[in-house]
Amino acid sequence: MSAPTVFPLLPGATLGVLGGGQLGRMFVHAAQAMGYFTAVLDPDAHSPAGQVSHHHIRASYDDAAGLAELARLSDAITTEFENVPAAALATLAALRPVAPAASAVAIAQDRAQEKAHFVRCGVPCAPYAVIETAAQRAAVSADLLPGILKTARMGYDGKGQVRVNTTAELAAGWASVGAVPCVLEKMLPLALECSVIVARGRDGSMVNLPVQRNLHHGGILAMTEVYKSNMPPALMQQAVAAAKSIANGLDYVGVLCVEFFVLQDGSLVVNEIAPRPHNSGHYSQNACDISQFELQVRTLAGLALVQPRQHSAAVMLNLLGDLWFGHGQGNAAQTPPWDAVLALPGAHLHLYGKQDAKRGRKMGHLNITAATPEAARATALQAAKQLGLPAF
């Protein structure tokens, strides 16, 4: 259809993104800051990324005309969420460079394939069984109980998961998710959770952000803290090495987040991967000299990958829709006290432009930066109190 793409794509080129959520919005912001044009495909007229992009194609992810228009406008295309239909990525890849590749996204979309990849890379994950048939369910080893049953596809923020203690609960739990393909994972004794963001270029070069320590509430990320003393150094090195070998094994191009568990015996276990920037990497917008979204721009455009440097200790607080409902039960909409929060030193507010606050919906995040971990934590605790978030 046109001449082959020549990398690097320099500012002035147009970068496309499949999906218009908050991750796409922050990618668009980073790309535009560097002088790129942007094109977003998302069905929602008010999508967070569509609102701020030069071009917004309002079409569903399987709309052939919409995909063709995205390819026509863009010099290269990325995705901002992993549940895009694999066929959409394949359609686009026939027309324009797409990163990450459909094959890597397909692995991240399916917990069974994802775990098989961890095993191939020699990175330990939780003991598990794939359950696709009633016979496989009945044959599950009692060693995997108590466990967590997770749908193989489409799960996020703890959705599509059932905790099961007995074989009877497993049978009921599998029925409750519609008997779709699942993995059953052994419930592990967690000491902490962490994640690593790596960026890998077309030439195989790799850089990483520092190891992030994460706190979840109800299966949703609540807080991330990043500074040298947040984990033992040997574990950090192990996590970075494991994340890089997982990215290498996928021949990955783009930004990849690898989530880990640290068990009570001090061992490191990989949990899951996300083929895109991740909520736990948002602190990098204000605490690092290169953010995860700039890394995404650089990998897509084929620019040099320069190792990011964290210049400030950081705490990130997620701002869920619950904050708009106050402390009572009612539906009364209230605006969180942004003025008080923004009076705190090192507070950086990021809101995604979503119109309706819903409980559990990610509306924004607050990055707190400071010269020391102690100061970052103290300020983050003050912000949490002002917002009505639990202390950590």
| Residues in Cβ contact with 273 at an 8 Å cutoff, skipping those fewer than 6 apart | 107, 108, 114, 246, 256, 257, 258, 259
Q: Which is nearer to ligand ADP, 96 or 278 (CB)?
A: 278
Q: Which is nearer to ligand ADP, 271 or 299 (CB)?
A: 271
- For ligand ADP, the binding residue among 82, 110, 193, 225 (CB under 6 A) is 193
Q: By CB under 6 A, tell whether 271 contacts ligand ADP.
A: yes
The CA-based angle 206-212-216, given to 5 degrees, is 135
Rg (CA), the chain: 21
Q: Which is nearer to ligand ADP, 36 or 128 (CB)?
A: 128
Contact 321, 285 (CB under 8 A): no
- For ligand ADP, the binding residue among 114, 185, 225, 294 (CB under 6 A) is 185
Q: By CB under 6 A, tell whether 153 contacts ligand ADP.
A: no
Q: By CB under 6 A, tell whether 188 contacts ligand ADP.
A: yes
Q: By CB under 6 A, tell whether 155 contacts ligand ADP.
A: yes
- For ligand ADP, the binding residue among 23, 31, 92, 148 (CB under 6 A) is 148
Measured CA to CA in angstroms, residue 206 lies from 169, 188, 259, 276, 308 at distances of 44, 31, 18, 15, 11
The one-character DSSP state at 231 is S
CB of 164 to ligand ADP, least distance (A): 12
Q: Which is nearer to ligand ADP, 188 or 300 (CB)?
A: 188
Mutual angle of helices 64-73 and 86-93, in 10-degree steps = 40
Residue type, 171: A
Question: By CB under 6 A, which span of 78-86, 89-97, 182-190, 345-353 interacts with ligand ADP?
Answer: 182-190
Q: By CB under 6 A, tell whether 82 contacts ligand ADP.
A: no
Q: Which residues pair with 347 in a beta bridge?
A: 368
- For ligand ADP, the binding residue among 52, 73, 126, 226 (CB under 6 A) is 126
* First vs last C-alpha separation in the chain: 55
Mutual angle of helices 111-121 and 233-249, in 10-degree steps = 110
Question: By CB under 6 A, which span of 27-35, 154-162, 235-243, 353-361 interacts with ligand ADP?
Answer: 154-162
Count residues near ligand ADP (CB under 6 A).
17
Q: Which is nearer to ligand ADP, 321 or 337 (CB)?
A: 321
Q: By CB under 6 A, tell whether 306 contacts ligand ADP.
A: no
Q: By CB under 6 A, tell whether 119 contacts ligand ADP.
A: no
Contact 24, 48 (CB under 8 A): yes
Structure tokens at 391: 């202390």
Q: Which is nearer to ligand ADP, 219 or 353 (CB)?
A: 219
| Residues in Cβ contact with 385 at an 8 Å cutoff, skipping those fewer than 6 apart | 391
Q: Which is nearer to ligand ADP, 162 or 380 (CB)?
A: 162
CB of 353 to ligand ADP, least distance (A): 24
What gap in Å lies between CA 83 and CA 154, rounded to an integer? 6
CB of 138 to ligand ADP, least distance (A): 21
CB of 260 to ligand ADP, least distance (A): 10
Scored b (16 or more CB within 10 A) or e, 149-180 reads: bbbbbebebeebbbebeeeebbbebbeebeee
Residues forming contacts to ligand ADP in the complex (CB under 6 A) are 126, 148, 150, 155-158, 185, 187-188, 190, 193, 216, 219, 259, 271-272
